[in-house]
Structure 1
């Protein structure tokens, strides 16, 4: 019998971006703090409801940012009374939005120093901002852009644009100018003017049905709407309320943290995962743009040449040989990432993350990617989780070692795998490291974290200047036996373009194997 993949648009508890703007416009404390007359021109985002099972009284947090003053506030309130939200100063600086980048590109093209030629390309750079500190203590917001001129003496330039003043800084301070003399990647980047969001739902209800049997039922969130955001930089394709054969197994699964560190000069980046880019996907769009059920396997930058090409942006689904693939391609500056989940009929879940890039000299330099999944296991409900480590002791039947307090762990001998199960039923999942997941260097910090669930620990806050994952700040000795447990799992990949290995496909990720 043919397995059917069914998707339906699904509602989302929370405030839309326009509702957040209305709250800000009617809140005297917001406008007073930002010294504005109205909310027009502010950068705001949607504010999803917080909590496991949010209702109309759930809490929310929303970021409101003024790009001209380069200042922001955070709103904290409840959905039933958003006008009574608390207003707190915020140091969070959102990445440039597409409209802001297009405005910056128009200013750049009008600059007299902009090179002539039809082949000149403007693309998004790393870091996304190069703000300038002024003598009076204020700062000026300046998105960065890359200029690719194949005929120029410098094929790549990084510039900063003051959109409010209409000015271009061709040598922005604080932006690394260390560049490899050549280009290593064959893929040309997409210009910032080209990639446009064509709408469609933020999330869908996905069902995989075999005859009369429902194998999978879950919510899938597009990268553009994934949490955490504002503060936070998205998390790729996000899964929620994941049920296998009617049983809840995961409340939430996503990648809230993605870091890069260069070996030669120590430059680091915290990459964003809410910018969807194009890839190839053939099939139907039953709920509108951004969601495609494919008739053949989708092809991302890892499977096809040509860089940012294809006819689709969003999330693609493809079922074959007993497994459903959920795929999206992301852009962060010159990086391209593949966010993927593989759901097998038997309940096995294979999270996967792929690494690639488009033409830029920085990609020629040796660097390490660190990707951090967050798994909120809720097998048989939120409470009563049991965490165990299984070591290689030489026995054919490894013995479990209970983990009863919050801890960070490395993937190294004798540890073989870890397990999270329900204390009553014994059902749950084993976490088996992927073949290419490696183990953390000092910058990568660790490989796994076992933490007690707290709604505010969705994002590490990134308080450091080196963008390092700050998950150890959550390890404070709390008991995790018979509680609600969250597992963070890190994969580490070293990209050396000059010495490629057999794994130059750049895919990492563990296998989550069901225990029944």
Structure 2
């Protein structure tokens, strides 16, 4: 427990456990071993750089995607975890697990990175199958039947924080999708609590593991072909209880906060970047799998599931941000400033009610969201 409580003291640290990638201003090039350049079997290509920051841990920079037969498109200037907030159901404790995440990084073994490459011993870069990319029967005509197995690039790291081992994955699909997710494993806390706040573990009903939430925040600085002209939009589809649905688009010209709703999603679009069908390219954000958590007034950062803020270099963490002359949490970043270079913060919740199957070592439970290309390719990208 003392380990977690000490983490906040490291938030202001600005050094790197692993030296940052060497960069050239206009070349999108970083030096080995920090450069990732992977062409998947269908021809899609992902390029990026990584670094291991003391505070945020694994951070990806200058992420770009090239669809099969298409032109390269820059997607993200940077992307990283921004907080792991762990409040317990009894009201205490309430951890903020990011503070010195890079220092908690676990050296990976070959078994942790099957078929891949371990970079600096702390980062795994690998590829794996992800199931069907598509299947078309051809209406009974064998000559017209088509299917394809999809593949994905995975960049991951792992961290030991208190009892938990967190596995942070960034998954890049050959269809242009991005899936950030975190898996929690390791050991249960071992806390004995009442039935009101926990679940019996082990023989009988003498030992109760306390239920708690994992509220994980990601920070993503989107740059679709550069920082200029990017816009964040929200899409809703009204018409519950009727046969018709109407699409409602809300453009965030100023900093904003948004909550999950059925039939709601967001996209980051550059209206000036068009595909060959003359449609603006964008990346769509879906956060429908979150167990939305709303804390008390002093945890106002949990009162929204997505934040849009204007880029400021000092705004690195969603909570416990102690950079000089900077605000402390993401809800305070979203103060209504005009947005010309948007940063998107996504919060995904998971309520962990322990079970006998969680006995040591605890199986991984995953939480994350999905980013999907919208009109980046004028046709099926495979």
CA contact (8 A) 2:56 2:80 kept: no
Aligned partner of 1:421 among 263, 269, 272: 269
Q: What does residue range 331-480 of structure 1 map to in structure 2 within 5 Å?
A: 331-362=160-191, 364-394=209-239, 395=244, 398-413=247-262, 416-425=264-273, 426-435=280-289, 437-442=290-295, 443=299, 444-460=302-318, 462=320, 470-480=329-339
Runs of at least 5 residues in structure 1 that lack an aligned partner in the other structure: 1-42, 56-200, 291-312
CA contact (8 A) 1:276 1:314 kept: no
Deviations 1:434-477 (A, max 9, x none): 42x1223124332110111111212356179xxxx821111221
Pairing 1:281–2:281 present: no
Question: RMSD value over aligned CA atoms?
Answer: 3.3
Q: Deviation at 1:432?
A: 0.9
Aligned partner of 1:315 among 119, 124, 147: 124
CA contact (8 A) 1:217 1:244 kept: yes
Return the TM-score normalized by structure 2.
0.66
Q: Deviation at 1:340?
A: 0.5
CA contact (8 A) 1:258 1:369 kept: yes
Q: Work out the CA distance in 2 between the residues paired with 1:326 and 1:286.
A: 10
Q: What does residue range 192-211 of structure 1 map to in structure 2 within 5 Å?
A: 204-210=34-40
1:239 matched to which residue of 2? Answer: 60
Q: Deviation at 1:341?
A: 1.2
Q: 1:263 to 1:319 in 2, by over 3 A?
A: same
1:188 matched to which residue of 2? Answer: none
Q: 1:408 to 1:500 in 2, by over 3 A?
A: farther
Q: Deviation at 1:46?
A: 3.8
Runs of at least 5 residues in structure 2 that lack an aligned partner in the other structure: 1-12, 26-30, 67-71, 130-149, 193-208, 274-279, 323-327, 376-382
Q: Deviation at 1:383?
A: 1.4
Q: Deviation at 1:329?
A: 2.1
Q: Deviation at 1:44?
A: 8.6
Q: 1:214 to 1:392 in 2, by over 3 A?
A: closer
Report which of the two structures shows the higher radius of gyration computed on alpha carbons. 1
Deviations 1:402-428 (A, max 9, x none): 222111111124x51011100212212
CA contact (8 A) 1:448 1:488 kept: yes
2:196 matched to which residue of 1? Answer: none
Q: Work out the CA distance in 2 between the residues paired with 1:506 and 1:285.
A: 23
Q: 1:494 to 1:211 in 2, by over 3 A?
A: closer
Q: Work out the CA distance in 1 between the residues paired with 2:33 and 2:224.
A: 23
Q: Work out the CA distance in 2 between the residues paired with 1:285 and 1:505.
A: 20
Return the TM-score normalized by structure 1.
0.50
Greater share of strand residues, 1 or 2? Answer: 2
Q: Deviation at 1:48?
A: 10
Q: Work out the CA distance in 1 between the residues paired with 2:91 and 2:34.
A: 43
Aligned partner of 1:45 among 9, 15, 18: 15
